[in-house]
Structure formats: C-alpha cells, structure tokens
Amino acid sequence: MTGSVPPLAAPDDALLRLAAALRDSGYRFTTITPASHARVNGRPGNAWARTLADVFGWSRPFRPDLLPPPMFELMQRAGIAARHDEGWGEGWRSLLRLSSLDGELFLHSAFPTGQEDAVFFGPDTYRFAAAIAAHLGVRRAPLRRAVDIGCGAGPGAVLIARAHPEADVLAIDINGAALRLARINAALAGTRNVVPRRGDLLSGIEGAFDLIVANPPYLVDPAGRAYRHGGGALGAGLSEAIVAAASDRLAPGGTLLLYTGAAVVNGTDPFRAAVQAQLSGSSLAWSYREVDPDVFGEELAGGAYAEADRIAAIVLTATRPG
C-alpha cells in the first residue's frame, strides 16, 4: 500500500460515529447550488430546523431537543455544534453538512461556504462522480495506483477505492480541513485503501499512476477562496496546471480524468485551446466534451466574465498508450 492511515483523533472519532448514526437512521440529503439552497431556506417556515435533514443538510439552526441526546453529545464532542442566538432565541447550528452520493454519506462544510478553508460539495461533485463511474465502467486496464488531486471531501478517492479495493488510492489536498473530512469519509465508507496526504498537485508524490482524477475550482473568486478560485484570467489556471502535472505521471494505459469548468468567450473556449497546445506534442490520446453547457450563470453579470458567453462544465480525459 502507498501508506497507512493513522487512528482517528477523539473529535474525529466522534464525528465518524455521528455520521454513522445518521446513516443508520436512514438520513439522505442531496446538496444543490448555493443560490437554490438560499431560496429554499428563505421560504416561510424554514427559518428553524424541524428534521435531521434540516440540521445536517439545509444548515438551519435548531433547538437541542430536536436531536436524540447521544447525537447532540457527539456533535459537541466533535466540535461542530455552534451556538446560534439570532431570531427566535438561543439555538445551535451544525458547522458541517452531510450529503448523499451513490449510497455513501460525505461530510463537508455547512452552508454558506464563506470560509477560506471551506470544503466543497455540490452539483459539480455529482457530475464528477458520474464521470468517474462511467470511466471505471469501461476501463479494462489494471488499476493498481490512483490519485485524486484536490480531493476536497474525498468523493473521487472513495468511489475509486470502493470499486478497486486492491488499489492504492491517494487523496491529495493543500487544505487541512479537507484532508480531515476526506479521512473520516473514507473510514465511514469502509475504504481502507484511501490515504489522505497534504500536497500541491503531485509535488512530493513519487511514481506513476493508472488513474489521476481531479475536480478543481475553476472560477475567478475575488476573495481568492481556495475551494472556488481557479486562478488565471478566466479561472482555468489550476486546471491547466493539473493537465501539465498529470501528463508526465501516467503509467502505460493510465488516464487523467479532469472535471472542470471552461468559460466560452465569443464562441471560443480558451481552456480547450490551452489543452490542445499542451497535449499536441505528447503521445496521449485525449477527449474533451461538455457535460453541461451553462453553469454558474450568475457569474456572467460582470467582473472577469463580463465578456463571456457562458461557463460550461467539461470532462477531459487523456490516456497514455498501454
């Protein structure tokens, strides 16, 4: 194996036990876009939580007697129960959410995600997971070693590890909060072959990989939040860096699967042009397709995207001949 996963610290063990209790209770929640989330929470009657999904999905304040006492105690031991004193008196709020994906639950940051070290999970995660599942469904080459670059909450790494329990799967991120949740989420899913490691792209990571996946931030965020800001003029800077880093680290038959976003300006996709320039002289066979032609439309109102037609969600794959 690539490495060993150390035992969970006491607060993390409490968080794992809380997540397991919610899973065993039948808890399910699908995370939607921030704009839709805000609209639903703004409806009459939704100011305070009435269900577990309200607390751990919709991030609504709650009275402590709403939860079973052992569950509230686990929240406190895990350090995710924050006091909420606005509105109708004193209450509490969960600092984390749990979202459903392919039969698993994943811990990630509560709404709204304004913190610099927020751990993202949303509609892009579901599309990323679908792209991974589609690739694994047709892959015939062996998969011995894989890495999820910028793993966030770890869904990419967990899905790969679950499908290939014999493989070594690295989950890499520069965000310590993300690595913490990725470690707990992997334990919750029972994927012991996921090893979270702090890293910037593949620097400090040795060897070649049979599968490299990434779902990087791809917007221009004026606040520079790591989970959202992709860098470059139109947010594609990190995506371009991943293509460059991964193209030399694929084993024979290995594939890079990159889910990202690309701004289209006057009918032209600058990111696709950059990818073509990067890969044109290599031996990699690559494909580039839009999986959603219009995401984050609110970004077109001004700023970096004032001249953009749209932002598309794309999946890029690049494979080294076997």
Q: Of 102, 231, 213, which is closest to residue 152 (Cα–Cα)? A: 213
- The answer to whether 291 and 258 have CB atoms below 8 angstroms apart is no
Residue 4's pLDDT is what? 55
Residue 170's pLDDT is what? 98
Going along the chain from its start, the domains and CATH numbers come out as 10-109 (no CATH), 123-319 (3.40.50.150)
- Tens of pLDDT, residue by residue over 250-264, are 999 999 999 999 999
Residue 241 carries which DSSP code?
Answer: H
The single residue listed with the structure tokens 């992997």 is: 186
- The answer to whether 318 and 284 have CB atoms below 8 angstroms apart is yes
C-alpha span between 312 and 310 (Å, rounded): 6
Q: What is the mean pLDDT of residues 45-67?
A: 96
* Close Cβ partners of 116 (under 8 Å, ≥ 6 residues apart): 223, 225, 226
C-alpha span between 145 and 136 (Å, rounded): 14
- Tens of pLDDT, residue by residue over 180-216, are 999 999 999 999 999 999 999 999 999 999 999 999 9
Q: How many CB atoms lie within 10 A of CB 16?
A: 19
Which pTM was predicted? 0.95
Residue 90's pLDDT is what? 78
